[in-house]
Amino acid sequence: MYGLGRCLAILKESGLAEHSVSGGVKMTESIITYRSMTKIYVVILLGIAGSLLLGYFIADSILPFATWDWFIILGVFITLPLLITILGFLVGWYGKKHAIDYTDPTWTYEPAQYTIEDTKKIVKQNKRKNWRMVANSNYWIFFIPLVLLLFMSALPMYLLIESPSFSQLHTWMFTLSLSLSYSVASIGALRATSNIASDDFNILLIRETIRLAKLQNKVPGLSHVRVVFDKAEQDGYTVFEAPRVVGRVSGLEKDGYIESWSEELGSVSRVLCRLYESEGHPEVLWWWFAEERNFKKFVEKDKTGYYVKYPISYKTGEPGVKDVNQVIENAVAIIILEWFHTRGENEELSLILEQLNAEKV
């Protein structure tokens, strides 16, 4: 159960109720000092060259004469490639951990809104420009070395079972696989590892937030869908945190908004509907939490609130965390119905309710 105190705390964090600004500290030196990466690059290149030579030696001198000697198979074709891959990962991990010196500043955050396309550009630019601080993990970093290790361990058994005529192709297949496994592991770890600055420069839950915004673009009656960050700038660096989605009800763009958060791809974790105070009518808030899956209404200074009925019914029952469109559709309908009850109806809003198949409760 969520009272008004908890709800207002979350609202304050979102930055739309009021700006959350902490005191800034004037920095006389750069907050980030880049360390030389030359040694790491040299080690990676030497590792690539060394794994090529080692792989060629193994493939040329041992592979053609392989037998069902499990000591050789386990030691040379399984354990050794695994150790080479781990070594590459450790080189990249060490390089990323020691890529910078970071003086953690006091960031001053203010909310900033962006379109979905602009948000994608910000994310790409952040990964490219701040790659030393950002932990940029991808599936290929872990998937490709695993496939190569399985291939190298299976190659001698394939030659023993199928007994094809050994050729130079098999030699180069093993050689390149060993070198590529080392390369991907080292470069992948250099990209994916976090360091002392990653907590500030990583944009957490951004993929989930962009997906949430795309889904809301399809909701009838919802306009000006934007991704909102808490943004801070200092010493030429920009950081973003707490991404969420904000949309406006068509025809009531200046009178309120719907704000939502996501913690899992394709889902919604909480929703805030807000109708501003105007013409003697008090401000009204509705909160929807994944744990409760019902909208709770708070009017002005009401601290306990009360649950309201979903104005839109679905054959599948009440919407859950994965039913993003249904939750937001009900949010749109709730704001419009409150407007009708307190400030009168209008044709544009009535058409939206018809599109949503909402009951005028």
Give the pLDDT of residue 73: 81
Residues 86 and 181 sit within 8 Å (Cβ to Cβ): no
Give the pLDDT of residue 161: 75
Q: What is the percentage of the chain residues whose pLDDT exceeds 70?
A: 89
Residue 223: count of CB within 10 angstroms of its CB = 13
Give the pLDDT of residue 53: 95
Give the pLDDT of residue 300: 84
Average pLDDT rounded to a whole number, residues 307-335: 93
Question: Which of 201, 228, 248 is where one domain is finished?
Answer: 201
Indicate whether 115 belongs to any domain.
no
CA distance 222 to 231: 25
Residue 157 structural domain:
33-105+126-201
The three state secondary structure string of the chain is CCCHHHHHHHHHHHCCCCCCCCCCCCCCCCCEEECCCHHHHHHHHHHHHHHHHHHHHHHHHCHHHCCCCHHHHHHHHHHHHHHHHHHHHHHHHHHHHCCEEECCCCCCCEEEEECHHHHHHHHHHHHHHCCCCCCCCCHHHHHHHHHHHHHHHHHHHHHHHHCCCCCHHHHHHHHHHHHHHHHHHHHHHHHHCCCCCHHHHCCCCHHHHHHHHHHHCCCCCEEEEEEEEEEEEECCEEEEEEEEEEEEECCCCCCEEEEEECCCCCCCCEEEEEECCECCECCEEEEEECCCCCEEEEECCCCCCEECCCCCCCCCCCCCCCCHHHHHHHHHHHHHHHHHHHHCCCHHHHHHHHHHCCCCC
**C-alpha dist (Å) from residue 326 to 163, 272, 321, 330:** 60, 15, 10, 6
Give the pLDDT of residue 258: 98
Average pLDDT rounded to a whole number, residues 98-120: 95
Same domain, 145 and 283: no
Average pLDDT rounded to a whole number, residues 220-249: 96
Question: Which of 154, 173, 201 is where one domain is finished?
Answer: 201
Phi, psi of 299 (to 5 degrees): -110, 120
Same domain, 343 and 208: yes
Q: How does residue 299 score in pLDDT terms, banded at 50, 70 and 90?
A: very high
CA distance 31 to 106: 10
Indicate whether 242 belongs to any domain.
yes
- 340 or 166, which is more confident: 340
Indicate whether 110 belongs to any domain.
no
Indicate whether 361 belongs to any domain.
no
Same domain, 142 and 168: yes
Question: Which of 149, 175, 201 is where one domain is finished?
Answer: 201
Q: How does residue 139 score in pLDDT terms, banded at 50, 70 and 90?
A: confident
Same domain, 75 and 62: yes
Same domain, 12 and 69: no
Structure tokens at 156: 């001698």
Dump pLDDT digits (tens) for 11-28. Answer: 555 555 443 333 333 344
- Nearest residue to 101 (alpha-carbon basis) of 127, 126, 133: 133
Instruction: Lowest mean pLDDT of 159-168, 281-290, 297-306, name the range.
Output: 159-168
Same domain, 289 and 215: yes
Average pLDDT rounded to a whole number, residues 148-168: 78
Average pLDDT rounded to a whole number, residues 48-70: 83
**C-alpha dist (Å) from residue 117 to 25, 226, 343:** 33, 10, 36
Give the pLDDT of residue 238: 96
Same domain, 211 and 145: no
Residue 179 has pLDDT above 90, yes or no: yes
Instruction: Lowest mean pLDDT of 16-20, 161-165, 283-287, 307-311, name the range.
Output: 16-20
Same domain, 192 and 234: no
Indicate whether 313 belongs to any domain.
yes
Same domain, 344 and 226: yes
Same domain, 179 and 250: no
Indicate whether 117 belongs to any domain.
no
Average pLDDT rounded to a whole number, residues 248-256: 95
Number of domains in the chain: 2
Same domain, 272 and 210: yes
Indicate whether 119 belongs to any domain.
no
Q: What is the pTM of this model?
A: 0.83
Give the pLDDT of residue 3: 59
- 19 or 199, which is more confident: 199
Dump pLDDT digits (tens) for 66-102. Answer: 666 778 888 888 999 999 999 999 999 999 999 999 9
Residue 360 has pLDDT above 80, yes or no: no
Give the pLDDT of residue 23: 37
Indicate whether 299 belongs to any domain.
yes
Angle at CA of residue 302, ends 300 and 306, nearest 5°: 115
Same domain, 211 and 169: no
Residue 205 has pLDDT above 70, yes or no: yes
Give the pLDDT of residue 25: 39
